[in-house]
Amino acid sequence: MLPEHDAGSRPALALVIYSLYGGGAERVVSVLSGYLARSHQVDIIVFDASAPAYAYQGNLINLDCPTRGQGGMAKAFNLLRRSLRLRRQFRHKTYAGIYAFMESANFAAILAAPGQVVASVRITPEVQSGFTRFLMRRLYPHARQVVAVSRGIRDMLAEDMGLANLAHIPNPLDFERIHAQGAQPFTVPARPVRPYILAAGRLHHDKGFDVLIAAYARCRGLQGTDLVILGEGMERAALEQQITALGLNGRVQLPGQTGNPFVWMQHATFFVLSSRFEGYPNVLIEALACGCPVIATNCPTGPYEILQGGGYGVLVESGNPVALAQGMESLIADGVERERLRAAAKTAVRHLTLEQVGEQWIRLGA
């Protein structure tokens, strides 16, 4: 079949990602699709279309290649199957730009269209498996560009893998949507009666919520302040057991996922990012966009860059509940510092407008 082509139509862009189920990269694709659809046809190509968690603009194309098995042979088969189906899609339709997000999509897209794909790397290479790092070294030189979500990841890719086709584009923020949702009233669950500090993300070991709960338990200054952790994941049962063991039932709340985290950020005393590893955490920049004071662990990439070394928030050692407790005690006791951070928060992220970031993506793909 010949590629679709209509000289009078808008140019088409392909956004390739495993799914829109949930997560930071998925949210970025959702937000970017809304901006790119203003001037382009947008196809969001996924391997698994089940239960999309985010709204999007454009056409959702399901190649129906969900993960099947975790062994080496299964991974190789999945990669081959996805690359072949992507190649058929790229032959069927001509794209002015092909953007892939995360290794599960990057590798298949590069194999399907070498030299044409803008691949987005969102996780530090050091936490990837040996097999994944092997594929990164072999395939990423054949990408049109490899976009690192943070400068720290870009530098790691340059140093560890010798890549020269590197660019850095941070995550965008849809300020209009954030402000509109942040101004909405609480619905379900109801707003806590007591003041609260807030965390959000997948309930996963990498997010360090176990460290956060341990740190919160040490804080005498937070006796009148609850801890709310938004999100779902495989660590829920373990975190609930930890909460009970520390006698924190009723003070630490796990409300689950919410379609509107911004209203929670708007009313929080402060926001805590407790991660062991991050690329460029969406929840941190979203909290700042809501004018919320923040504390963040200084994990390998992301928070230090976003907070500019601590000028726009408190940085503490990653994986250390004592250091995190001290940071929270200090901030809860210092109302002046909280107000300074609240006033400065939006300045830290004002360069992340959807228009500025979206244009960077368009230029790379052109």
Domain ranges within the chain, ordered by starting residue: 12-172+352-365, 175-348
Residue 13 has pLDDT above 70, yes or no: yes
Q: Which two tokens stand for residue 132?
A: 């994944």
Residue 149 has pLDDT above 50, yes or no: yes
Residue 5 has pLDDT above 50, yes or no: no
> Average pLDDT, stretch 167-192?
86
- Distance, in Å, from the CA atom of 66 to the CA atom of 58, rounded to the nearest integer, reads 21
Q: Which two tokens stand for residue 121?
A: 């790397």
CB 101 within 8 A of CB 19: no
CA nearest neighbour of 273 among 314, 224, 332: 314
Average pLDDT, the chain: 91
Sequential DSSP letters for 71-98: SHHHHHHHHHHHHHHHHHHHHHB--SEE
CB 141 within 8 A of CB 165: yes
Q: What pTM was computed for the model?
A: 0.89
CATH of domain 175-348: 3.40.50.2000
Q: Given this model, what pLDDT does residue 2 score?
A: 29
Among 70-79, 231-240, 271-280, the range scoring the smallest mean pLDDT is: 70-79
| Amino acid identity for residue 274 in this structure | S
- Distance, in Å, from the CA atom of 168 to the CA atom of 1, rounded to the nearest integer, reads 36
Q: Sign of dihedral through CA atoms 33, 36, 37, 43?
A: negative
- Distance, in Å, from the CA atom of 51 to the CA atom of 49, rounded to the nearest integer, reads 7
Q: Given this model, what pLDDT does residue 186 score?
A: 80
> Average pLDDT, stretch 41-59?
90
Angle at 27 between CA 295 and CA 164, to 5 degrees: 85
Residue 82 has pLDDT above 70, yes or no: yes
CA nearest neighbour of 281 among 101, 105, 27, 102: 27
Angle at 46 between CA 44 and CA 47, to 5 degrees: 165
> Average pLDDT, stretch 263-280?
95
pLDDT band at 308 (very low <50, low <70, confident <90, very high): very high
CB 119 within 8 A of CB 110: yes
DSSP 256: E
Residue 6 has pLDDT above 70, yes or no: no
- Distance, in Å, from the CA atom of 74 to the CA atom of 8, rounded to the nearest integer, reads 43
State in Å, rounded, how far the first CA of the chain is from the last one. 25
CA nearest neighbour of 250 among 235, 264, 240, 237: 240
Paired with 227 in beta bridges are 197, 252
Q: Which two tokens stand for residue 111?
A: 């194999």
Query: Cβ atoms within 10 A of the Cβ of 335, count?
Result: 10
Q: Angle 103-112/130-139 helices, nearest 10 degrees?
A: 40
CATH superfamily, region 12-172+352-365: Glycogen Phosphorylase B; (3.40.50.2000)
Residue 108 has pLDDT above 90, yes or no: yes
Residue 321 has pLDDT above 50, yes or no: yes
Residue 280 has pLDDT above 70, yes or no: yes
pLDDT band at 74 (very low <50, low <70, confident <90, very high): confident
- Distance, in Å, from the CA atom of 170 to the CA atom of 150, rounded to the nearest integer, reads 6
Among 135-149, 179-193, 289-303, the range scoring the smallest mean pLDDT is: 179-193
- Distance, in Å, from the CA atom of 310 to the CA atom of 318, rounded to the nearest integer, reads 14
pLDDT band at 317 (very low <50, low <70, confident <90, very high): very high
pLDDT band at 188 (very low <50, low <70, confident <90, very high): low
CA nearest neighbour of 206 among 122, 269, 136, 271: 122
> Average pLDDT, stretch 196-214?
96
- Distance, in Å, from the CA atom of 364 to the CA atom of 98, rounded to the nearest integer, reads 10
Q: Given this model, what pLDDT does residue 190 score?
A: 63
Q: Given this model, what pLDDT does residue 305 score?
A: 94
Q: What is the pLDDT of residues 58-70, one digit of tens each?
A: 999 999 998 876 7
Q: Which two tokens stand for residue 202?
A: 């997948």
